[in-house]
Structure 1
Amino acid sequence: MFCAERLKVARHRKKLTGKQLAEAAGLTDVTVSKAENGHQPDDATVDKLAEALGYPRAFFFMDSPEVLEPRAVSFRSLKKMKAAERNASLAAGSNGIALYQWISARFDLPAPDLIDLSREQARPEVAARLLRQHWGLGDRPVGNILRLFESKGIRVLSLSENTHNVDAYSFWHADYPYIFLNQKKTAERSNFDAAHELGHLVLHFHAQAESLPEDDAERQANMFASAFLMPDADLKSVLSSIYSSSQIIKTKVRWKVSALALANRLHHIGMLSDWNYRSIVIDLGQRGFRTGEPLGVERETSTLLPKVFAALWGKGITRGDIANDLNLPWDEVEMLVFGLTGSTPSRPQRPSLSLVGTRAELDDG
């Protein structure tokens, strides 16, 4: 049976209105509207819709997809987003869930190991410290952020939208946490976005902060990210005194954050006076640190996904095969992992993710 929800997902991924889809498919607005509202289209109509959207015909006859509701998702820049951008991002989330369901049916992935602080009403900095204690991080720098997140059961995927209005977003689905990161940002900004979304996952568990004003929820997540990435004890041990922006530029690499984020954190914990903070921010702006990150750190990639794909490659299974199994366009799968996996190996490599029968286990190292 034709699935109306899948038609909406595909249309949203292409950022098309119903009228635009009708024009692209050579159909009437009424025909498209009926198809999206449960009226079973004939074969010719399905073929036209599938061709216009670039999705395999079989995609529209699968079971209903996992549809994400906007109120269940934590978006970083909701006010800046257009409806089409929001809908396209939510549709990417649906496809991302399908991809991870496919992977988890074949591999034993790390179980989620987060704490729910939404009912504790913990201050963001306290929440960051509690999670660091739970994970045994102490006050040291996080190191490889994505590797840490994946080892704690967070499912990280790429949001390769050609827009600066969608930084990142996160959600819980079936008790699994997901984070989508926009790969158009600098590595430092992406690191902070990841920690920001982690804040939403633990502070606003299952979007229980929907009663909060958006600005308050975003401010809490920002404060959490800053404290999680830059613990004050470590800052004070490394930077006993700060007298110039050059100091900040030199040491920011320790915490893999932007120069402005480090300056802001130092000001927040009282290590920079108002006057020094303003002068340093002005100097950083003049050096180009407002629009980019000169002398930036290397962008992190996934640790888990390359192991998965290498193990599959060793069995002759390509990303194209995964796309075929999911009845997704090949480029949709590529966009979900864009910037996270590096280049596909030209020959099978010995993976540390070993297949055992039909499943595999992720080695601790």
Structure 2
Amino acid sequence: MAFDPDRLRQARQLALKTKQDVAAAIGVSPAAVGQYESGVFAPRAELIESLARFLRVPISYFAAGRPQARLESGSVFFRSLRATAAKQRNKAVAYTEQVWELANMLETHVRFPPVSIPGFAGGEIAPDTFASDPVTAAQELRLAWDLGDGPIPQMLRLVESKGIVTVLVPMVEAEVARIDAFSTSALGRPIMVLSPDRADDVYRHRFSVAHELGHLILHGGRASGTIDLEREANRFAAEFLTPVQMMDAELPSRLDMAHVLKMSNRWGVEASSIIRRSRELGKVSEASARRGYIRLQQMNVTIEPVAKFPGEQPLLLKKAIGLAEQIGINVPTLAHELAWTPSHLRSMLGEADLRPNLSLVL
């Protein structure tokens, strides 16, 4: 078997292991592991078996020849960059590489929707396709996608219909889920990795999708991680979900909390976003907005979970697998092609491990 050094790097990052961890597990020096990953020389056959056991992948995972994407951390837009450790970001990058591998493998069997973003080709949007101003860019995309000026009923289904691959990270992938949401267009087809996060609030989830869409539209080719880029993506999301022209028409000149909640439900955004819009448009004062936020906390508004809304959960990859099964390509077959275990493939789709737990009573 020809050994692929980058597969070791990927498996190690997915397992949240350092080179020192791997070295101690298989009985070599950390320098040797570094040489395996850089391709200076390959590990012996018995060490490859030890690597597979320690990193919990099939031995065939390390075989060269399968399509692969190498993603640099600077090409991924992390919403919670400052709150996460490097090893968490590395795992998220490796996770996104595997999302690409799964989508790429499925596309050999099933025709995906084309990427329907104006000016998009080869992982980039042509310069000057959209305005650099986030608000204007959001308006331009709404117009290009013929969304009118009303609420967007299903935000996640919308982006999937435009050829953007999305995954909802299963909570067993806690280190990836902690990052909240991230995206990249550097792999040819845009990818969003989303998490319901600890709050599991569908309105916050919808904003995350719009925020990542803002990164894809505005920031291709720019290094991620700056506060300015995050603020621009927030401004894009706010305009895309709640167009300023409609907010100006619908928001009253005084803060009515019953009306705020009604608009929150109508537009599919957090009530705090409606208050913020009121302040931005000069409908209410800063003091009134602060009182509104306090009142909102006291009201204990019910949070709707993401699982309650099918249109806000990924479907593209699952439907692709369903179509592949109709031509005889099932989950075990795909897992074999990817050199994954079937359970890992299912977890990438956000499915729970349904195997019963075996316990022995002494």
User: Which TM-score band applies after superposition, normalised by the shorter structure?
Assistant: 0.7 to 0.9
Aligned to 2:358: none
Aligned to 1:16: 17
C-alpha separation in 2, matches of 1:176 and 1:57: 29
Aligned to 1:330: 342
Q: Which amino acid aligns with 1:227?
A: E
Deviations 1:101-128 (A, max 9, x none): 0111111111112134764652111010
C-alpha separation in 1, matches of 2:97 and 2:276: 36
Is 1:34 equivalent to 2:35 in the alignment? yes
SS at 1:114's partner residue?
Answer: coil
Question: Aligned match of 2:101 in 98, 122, 141?
Answer: 98
SS at 2:182's partner residue?
Answer: strand
Is 1:123 equivalent to 2:133 in the alignment? yes
Aligned to 1:268: 280
Aligned to 2:69: 66
Is 1:52 equivalent to 2:54 in the alignment? yes
TM-score by length of 1: 0.84
Aligned to 2:217: 202
Is 1:179 equivalent to 2:192 in the alignment? yes
SS at 1:79's partner residue?
Answer: helix
1:183–1:338 CA contact under 8 A, matched in 2: no
C-alpha separation in 2, matches of 1:309 and 1:21: 34
Is 1:306 equivalent to 2:318 in the alignment? yes
C-alpha separation in 1, matches of 2:304 and 2:193: 25
SS at 1:180's partner residue?
Answer: strand
2:75–2:222 CA contact under 8 A, matched in 1: no
Deviates more, 1:184-193 or 1:52-61: 184-193
C-alpha separation in 1, matches of 2:293 and 2:127: 34
SS at 1:170's partner residue?
Answer: strand
Is 1:190 equivalent to 2:205 in the alignment? yes
SS at 1:156's partner residue?
Answer: strand
Q: What are the ranges of 5 or more consecutive residues in structure 2 without an aligned counterpart?
A: 119-124, 355-362
C-alpha separation in 2, matches of 1:93 and 1:177: 11
C-alpha separation in 1, matches of 2:138 and 2:321: 33
Aligned residues: 336
Is 1:153 equivalent to 2:163 in the alignment? yes
Q: How far did residue 80 of structure 1 move?
A: 1.4
Q: Which amino acid aligns with 2:76?
A: V
C-alpha separation in 2, matches of 1:259 and 1:181: 21
C-alpha separation in 1, matches of 2:299 and 2:81: 30
Runs of 4+ in 1 over 6 A off after TM superposition: none
Deviations 1:135-185 (A, max 9, x none): 011101111112111111111123343146412111113532111112334
C-alpha separation in 2, matches of 1:55 and 1:131: 42
SS at 2:111's partner residue?
Answer: coil
TM-score by length of 2: 0.84
Q: How far did residue 34 of structure 1 move?
A: 2.5
C-alpha separation in 2, matches of 1:71 and 1:343: 33
Is 1:83 equivalent to 2:86 in the alignment? yes
1:89–1:159 CA contact under 8 A, matched in 2: no
Q: Which amino acid aligns with 1:4?
A: P
Q: How far did residue 337 of structure 1 move?
A: 1.9
Aligned to 2:6: 5
Q: Which amino acid aligns with 2:336?
A: N
Tell me: CA distance 1:286–1:255, structure 2 relative to 1, closer, same or farther (3 Å): same
Q: How far did residue 237 of structure 1 move?
A: 4.3
Q: How far did residue 325 of structure 1 move?
A: 1.5
C-alpha separation in 1, matches of 2:225 and 2:46: 47
Deviations 1:277-303 (A, max 9, x none): 1111112223446xxx63567342224
SS at 2:83's partner residue?
Answer: coil
Q: What are the ranges of 5 or more consecutive residues in structure 1 without an aligned counterpart?
A: 345-365
Q: How far did residue 242 of structure 1 move?
A: 4.8
Question: Aligned match of 2:228 in 191, 216, 221?
Answer: 216
1:118–1:204 CA contact under 8 A, matched in 2: no
Q: How far did residue 271 of structure 1 move?
A: 3.0
Aligned to 1:135: 145
C-alpha separation in 1, matches of 2:347 and 2:226: 28
Structure 1 residues 217-256: aligned runs within 5 Å: 217-256=229-268
Q: How far did residue 32 of structure 1 move?
A: 2.1
C-alpha separation in 2, matches of 1:7 and 1:42: 14
Question: Aligned match of 1:294 in 303, 307, 331?
Answer: 303
C-alpha separation in 1, matches of 2:166 and 2:143: 22
